[in-house]
Amino acid sequence: MRTELRTLRQLVRAFAEGDDESLLWKAVDKVPYKLRRLLQHEGDAGWRRVRRAVRTFCTALAELLSRVLTEEARVRLLECAHRMVPYAVRLAASGKALVQAAVTVWNDAGAADPTRSAAQRVLEAVARQSQSGLVDRMLRAVCTGRVYGAEGAARVFAAADPNIAYRMAFLQVQELALALRRGRDHVATTVYAKRLRWWATVLSQVPALHPLGFPHGEVVLGWMRLFEGRDALRWRLQGADCLIEVMNAVKVYMPVAPLLLEMTGVKLPKEEEEALAYRLLQVAAAWVEHPAFPEMGATLVRRLGKGQPRALDRARKRIREDVESALQRRRDGVHGSAVWRVQQLLVAEEERKTRERRVDGKADEVDREQLVPLEWD
Sequence letter at residue 183: G
Alpha helices in 43-162 (DSSP H): 44-65, 71-88, 92-106, 113-128, 134-144, 153-160
Q: Give average pLDDT by consecutive 10-residue segment, the chain, 377 residues.
A: 59 63 73 76 71 81 76 84 82 76 75 81 73 58 50 50 72 86 86 87 82 91 86 85 86 80 72 76 71 59 59 58 56 49 58 70 49 42
Largest Cα span, the chain: 127
pLDDT tens string 275-321: 777 777 777 777 666 665 565 655 666 656 555 556 556 656 655 55
DSSP for 278-296? HHHHHHHHHHHT-SS-THH
- Candidates 200, 282, 287, 296; CA nearest to 249 is 200
Tell me how far apart the alpha carbons of residues 280 and 292 are, in angstroms, rounded to a whole number.
19
pLDDT tens string 253-276: 888 878 877 777 667 777 777 777
Mean pLDDT (the chain, rounded): 71
Tell me how far apart the alpha carbons of residues 268 and 9 are, in angstroms, rounded to a whole number.
63
Residue 213: CB atoms within 10 A of its CB come to 23
Tell me how far apart the alpha carbons of residues 38 and 45 are, in angstroms, rounded to a whole number.
10
Burial (Cβ within 10 Å: 0-12, 13-18, ≥19) of residue 312:
buried
Instruction: Please state whether the predicted TM-score (pTM) of the whole model is above 0.85.
Output: no
Tell me how far apart the alpha carbons of residues 115 and 118 are, in angstroms, rounded to a whole number.
5
- Candidates 260, 181, 191, 258; CA nearest to 219 is 181
Q: Would you put residue 150 in left (φ > 0), alpha (ψ -120 to 50) or beta? A: beta
The residues near 155 (Cβ < 8 Å, ≥ 6 apart) are 142, 145
